[in-house]
Amino acid sequence: MKPNFIIATVFIALAASAMPFFAPVPSQILISVAQAAETEQTATFDVPSMTCALCPVTVGKAMEGVAGVKSVTVDFDARTATVVFDPAMTTIEAIGTASANAGYPAVVRG
Ligand SMILES: [Cu+2]
């Protein structure tokens, strides 16, 4: 009984730890995991050249393509992109450059 329970617990723990890398999970879970590890930073960029509803898709894909970027939330109405990233893996400059290379210069706020 008890060994089976331990094996099941380990399996669930392994599956849970692998999930962020292999399956889409709600971003809230990703954020809470990242905060626990203290390896995340959030930056908001002004992206004034977004002119239509498809622009945020391009901006989001460009920024998400940067290794270390965990999530991108683009607000078309506000012309902003909020990026959660691992500062050990990438930089605000690299994320802004990726957006600029896709045709949308992004200037970090603050
Ligand atoms: Cu557009």
Report CA(92)–ligand 1 centroid distance (Å): 23
| CATH of the domain spanning 39-110 | 3.30.70.100
Q: Which pTM does this prediction carry?
A: 0.66
Residues 6+ apart with CB under 8 A from 103: 49, 58
Both tokens of 60, joined, read: 């989001």
Report the pLDDT value the prediction gives residue 110, as an integer from 0 to 100: 75
3-state class (DSSP) for residue 73? strand
Residues in the chain where the model's pLDDT stays below 50: 1, 34
Report CA(89)–ligand 1 centroid distance (Å): 29
Per-domain residue ranges of the chain: 1-38, 39-110
Report the pLDDT value the prediction gives residue 1, as an integer from 0 to 100: 46
Report CA(20)–ligand 1 centroid distance (Å): 30
Please tell me the distance from the alpha carbon of residue 27 to that of residue 55, in angstroms, as a whole number: 22
Q: What is the pLDDT of residues 24-40, one digit of tens each?
A: 555 555 555 545 566 99
